[in-house]
Amino acid sequence: MNVLGIETSCDETSAAVVRDGRDVRSNVVSSQIELHRAHGGVVPELAARAQLTAIIPVVEAALQLAEVGLEDIDAIAVTRGPGLAGSLLVGANFAKTVAYARSIPLVGVNHLEAHLYANWLSPPGDEPGEQPAFPMLALLVSGGHTELLLMTGHGRYEQLGRTLDDAAGEAFDKGARLLGLGYPGGPAIQQAAAGGDTAAFALPRAWLGDSHDFSFSGLKTALLREVEPYRLPDEDDEPEDDAPFRKHRPPRFAEGMPVADLAASFQEAIVDVLAVKTATAARTFETPQVVLAGGVAANRALRERLTGEIEATSGTMLRVPALSYCTDNAAMVAAAGYYALRRGAQSGWELDVSSRLPVGR
Ligand code: KG4
Ligand code: ZN
C-alpha cells in the first residue's frame, strides 16, 4: 500500500511516498529556516504563507522521486496537529482535496505519534529491517514536547512523564539565543559545543525525585547568569512598534566569552537528565525496547549518551531513527497513517486541525 504523507505543522513543508508503513520511496522536505532566521524564531503568518507556496512543488517532487503518479497512491496521511494552525490548515486542505478527488482514504495523524513512527522507517535503498517490538519506552524530544511514553501497541500510549516547563528542543533554542548562536538552536549548540569542556560550568539538573517528569527552565536561567557578565548593551537604533517583523538582533558580547565551554556544559546538562531518566524508566517498567524520537533525537551527544545508558541496562535495546527522520518530515506521517488505517482509523471529510493535541488523541 502506497501512502502519500503530508507534513506542514510548523516551518517545514514535506511530502513522502512510503510503502507498507516502512519502505520510504521518497521524502522531500522544504525548510523555511532562512525565512525565519532573520526573526530569531518562527513567525506563524510567514510560515503559513510559505506552506501555501511550497505544498504543490514539494508533492510533485515526492511523486517524481518515488517514480509514481497520484493514481498509484492508495491513501493520504496528513498531520492534523499539534502545530501552528495556519500551517496545519494548508496541508490538511491539500490532503482532503486530493483524497476527495481520487476517492481514496484520508487519515489525520497526530504529529507527536508520527515522530515515534520514524522508528519504523527504512531509509531509501535499505532492505526493511526488523520492526520495533511492543511494549516499548519512548523518549519523545522535540521543539514543543518532552515526554516519556509507554507504547503498548499501535496507537496505544501511556504517558509516564512530561516536561513541567520548557521542552528539550525549546531549551536548546533558548540557550542558543542566550549565547548569540541563532536559530535553530539545537544544531547551533551541538556545533558550538564541539571541542568545549562539558564540565567547565556546573549547570543544574532537575532530577525531580522518583518522578518521570522533566524541567529545563532552571537550566536556562543558570546559563543566563553565566552569560550576563559578558553581555554588552543593545544598540537601540530601531523603533519598537514594527515587532514581530523587526529584524532579530542577536545579543552582543565582550571578547573572551567561553562559548564552546558554555555550549558543551549546557548541552551536557540536558543530555544527562534525558539519558539517565530514560534508562531509569526502562529499568522500572522492564521494557525490552527503548525508542528515541523528535528533532532533538538528532543530537549526537544525546544519541551517544543514551546508547551508553541503555547498553548498561540489561534486557533493553535502544532504537534511534536515521538522522533525516528525526526532525519534521512526511515519511514518519505516512508510516503513522499506514498503521492508523490498518486499525480502521480513517478520517471523515470533516477532519479539522488542532494546534494542541496530546499523544493518543
Ligand atoms: O521535531 P522537530 O523538528 O519539530 C517539532 O515538532 O518541534 O524539532 C525541532 C527541535 C528544535 O527545537 C531544534 O532546535 C531541535 O529540535 N533540534 C536539535 C538538533 N536538531 C534539531 N536539538 C539538539 N541537537 C540537534 N542536533
Ligand atoms: Zn516535530
CB atoms within 10 A of CB 165: 16
From atom 3 of ligand 1, which residue's Cα is the shortest distance away? 327
Is the CB of residue 87 below 6 angstroms from any atom belonging to ligand 1? no
From atom 1 of ligand 1, which residue's Cα is the shortest distance away? 295
Grid coordinates given for 42: 518562527
Q: Rounded to two decimals, what is the model's pTM?
A: 0.95
CB atoms within 10 A of CB 217: 15
From atom 18 of ligand 1, which residue's Cα is the shortest distance away? 186
> Which atom of ligand 1 is the closest one to the Cα of 328?
3
Mapping DSSP to helix (H, G, I), strand (E, B) and coil, where does residue 5 land? Answer: strand
Q: Shortest CA distance to 57 belongs to which of 92, 94, 93?
A: 94
CA of 286 to the centre of ligand 2 (A): 28
From atom 7 of ligand 1, which residue's Cα is the shortest distance away? 143
CA of 240 to the centre of ligand 2 (A): 32
Written as tens digits, the pLDDT of the chain (361 aa) is 999 999 999 999 999 999 999 999 999 999 999 999 888 889 999 999 999 999 999 999 999 999 999 999 999 999 999 999 999 999 999 999 999 999 999 999 999 999 999 999 987 777 777 889 999 999 999 999 999 999 999 999 999 999 999 999 999 999 999 999 988 999 999 999 999 999 999 999 999 999 999 999 999 999 999 999 999 987 765 555 555 444 567 889 999 999 999 999 999 999 999 999 999 999 999 999 999 999 999 999 999 999 999 999 989 999 999 999 999 999 999 999 999 999 999 999 999 999 999 999 9
From atom 26 of ligand 1, which residue's Cα is the shortest distance away? 299
Contact call for residues 12 and 47 (beta carbons, < 8 A): no
Grid coordinates given for 48: 503559513
Q: Shortest CA distance to 258 belongs to which of 234, 285, 227, 283?
A: 227
| CA distances in angstroms from 96 to 90, 104, 349, listed in the order given | 10, 10, 7
CA of 9 to the centre of ligand 2 (A): 8
The DSSP string of 31-73 is E-HHHHHTTTS--HHHHHHHHHHHHHHHHHHHHHHHT--GGG-
Ligand 1 pocket check: which of 12, 142, 268, 302 to mutate, most ligand atoms within 8 Å of Cβ? 142
Residue 153, H or E segment: strand 146-153
Residue 174, H or E segment: helix 168-178
* Cα distance between residue 285 and residue 275, in whole Å: 15
CA of 6 to the centre of ligand 2 (A): 13
DSSP state of 316: -
